[in-house]
Amino acid sequence: MIKFSDINFQYKNNKTEKGNLVDINLTIEDGELIVLTGESGCGKTTFTRLINGLAPNYYPGTVTGELLLDGENVIGKSVAELGRTVGSVFQNPRSQFFNVDTDSELAFAAENIAMDPKEIIRRMDEITEELDLKDLRQRSIFELSGGEKQRIACGSVAVMYPKVIVLDEPSSNLDIESIDKLKSVLKKWKKQGKTVIIAEHRLFFLKDLADRLVVMKDGSITNVYTRAEMNELSGALKEMGIRPLEEPGLVIKRSKEGIRDYIRIEHFKYSYDRKTIALSIDKMLLPGHQVVAIVGQNGAGKSTFLKCLCGIYKTKKDKILLNNNRWKRKVRSKDCYMVFQDVNHQLFTESVLDELIIGMDDSLTESEKKEKALDILERFGLKDKAGDHPMALSGGQKQRVAIASSVAAGRDIILMDEPTSGMDELNMIRLSDELKRLKGMGKTIYVVTHDYEFINECCDSVIELK
């Protein structure tokens, strides 16, 4: 049993009046599956950090109140000590593995508590069977997809036989199929009687697993729903800025204007090494002046497709036509602008303003550039951030800076890779509106995404890659 009594928490680097967790009272019974949700910054991640001890041990701050795990006080215990009973799965698959190969990672935690090697190997085999990890054993972690990494993360936690497992937005980088696999792992854990606590934005896959849904806002718990109550919620959640509980299906809207051909691909192939083909397209039509979603499983070549289209990857003998004119790679790279999944990689300069100016047409004078840049920032609601360092902005703001700089560079085709991963409802809607506005400006937008709700919100057509 986990019991939060009058818990208040404030990070050390939080200089505001408001705490990060405010008056939390919640009792979680053994074997319960609890889903925490709410807007970005509502405190749900902090909630999980208190349970695994990362707050206040690793992320320092002040705690008041009492947090009991099976009657013992959690606060004051080290993370490593808590790690014996509490397993943690994190959001970012890039940064949660200490090892470079999967087997070592599965064994890692057990090795750290000096478990007998024979027992470790026995447990690893057992977990491999249980969580269906056979195809992932003895692989390099760097060659796994996001979904596969998340399965290994779950496996490496399960080897410890933890009583409690906390997951911090585990689905944010996963496609529907990988989410299904994650769901079946959660189902097994629940059946084994483990206590599972998940902080999530996307709720549909948890609907029939969750025992209770905890909604948080500004650090406080605003509502707690039981399973029965959850099923009567649908409308109310949207008003709270929370993603729906129903699995979103794709709604195909017929666009009124009819589809105009824009880009015609007749031959398009790419492989990273000489052996495996990452992308192979014989014929494809991409409509223009629309927001087009590109869907497909992890590993279907969606990101590769975008990178080839905008000329980052060199494709040989490609034949692509733009409005029936040959569209060569060199030209493509000047017409397209790609917004990466991790926007951190594409913001280079010291200020938001410079970020826009650096890509502008060189024929303009400095003052013209500046004026134009400020104009664009105004439209994107970023004018007051013009002097800020891009890295000081929030994730959603960074993304908007990247989109704004594509407009500044005068590119007509914008490519986006998984723009809504880890986004809450509010930011997702904001991005959708942004894209609709860009479409209104005559831009063409191709979005690789797994997020059906987002597609329904703003995309005009959908293309599936296989």
Partner 1 sequence: MRKLDPRTKLFLLVVINVVMMTGKITGIFVPVRIVFALIPFVLMMRETWFRGSLIYFFLYLYVFLLERYTLQDINPVLLIVLLFTTGLLSRFLAGVMMAYYLMKTTTVSEFVTAMERMHVTKAIVIPFAVMFRFFPTLKEEWQDVKNAMKMRGIGLAGRNPLDVLEYVMVPILMSVSKIADELSAASMTKCLSVDGKRTHIARIGFSFLDVILGLCGAAGLFAHVFLGGVIGT
User: Where on the chain is the footprint of partner 1 (CB under 8 A)?
Assistant: 52-54, 57-59, 78-80, 82-84, 86-88, 90, 92, 94-101, 103-104, 107-117, 120-121, 124, 142, 156, 307, 310-312, 333-334, 336-338, 340, 342, 344-350, 358-359, 391, 405, 409
Q: Cβ closer to partner 1: 80 or 252?
A: 80
Which of 245/357 has CB closer to partner 1? 357
Nearer to partner 1 by Cβ, of 139 and 267: the residue is 139
Q: Closest separation between CB of residue 275 and partner 1, Å?
A: 12
Least Å from the CB of residue 116 to partner 1: 7
Query: Closest CB to partner 1 among 58 and 441?
Result: 58
Shortest distance, CB of residue 133 to partner 1, whole angstroms? 16
3-state SS track over the chain: CEEEEEEEEEECCCCCCCCCEEEEEEEECCCCEEEEECCCCCCHHHHHHHHHCHHHHCCCEEEEEEEEECCEECCCCCHHHHCCCEEEECCCCCCCCCCCEHHHHHHHHHHHCCCCHHHHHHHHHHHHHHCCCHHHCCCEHHHCCHHHHHHHHHHHHHCCCCCEEEEECCCCCCCHHHHHHHHHHHHHHHHCCCEEEEECCCCHHHCCCCCEEEEEECCEEEEEEEHHHHCCCHHHHHHCCCCCCCCCCCCCCCCCCCCCEEEEEEEEEECCCCCCCCEEECCEEEECCCEEEEECCCCCCHHHHHHHHCCCCCCCCCEEEECCEECCHHHHHHHEEEECCCHHHHCCCCCHHHHHHCCCCCCCCHHHHHHHHHHHHHHCCCHHHCCCCHHHCCHHHHHHHHHHHHHHCCCCEEEEECCCCCCCHHHHHHHHHHHHHHHHCCCEEEEECCCHHHHHHHCCEEEECC
Residue 266 beta carbon to partner 1: minimum distance, rounded to whole angstroms: 24
Nearer to partner 1, 240 or 331 (CB): 331
Shortest spacing between CB 67 and partner 1, in angstroms: 16
Return the number of the residue (220 or 271) whose C-beta is nearest partner 1: 271
Least distance CB 131 / partner 1 (angstroms): 17
Between 211 and 412, whose beta carbon lies closer to partner 1?
412
Nearest approach, Cβ of 385 to partner 1 (angstroms)? 17
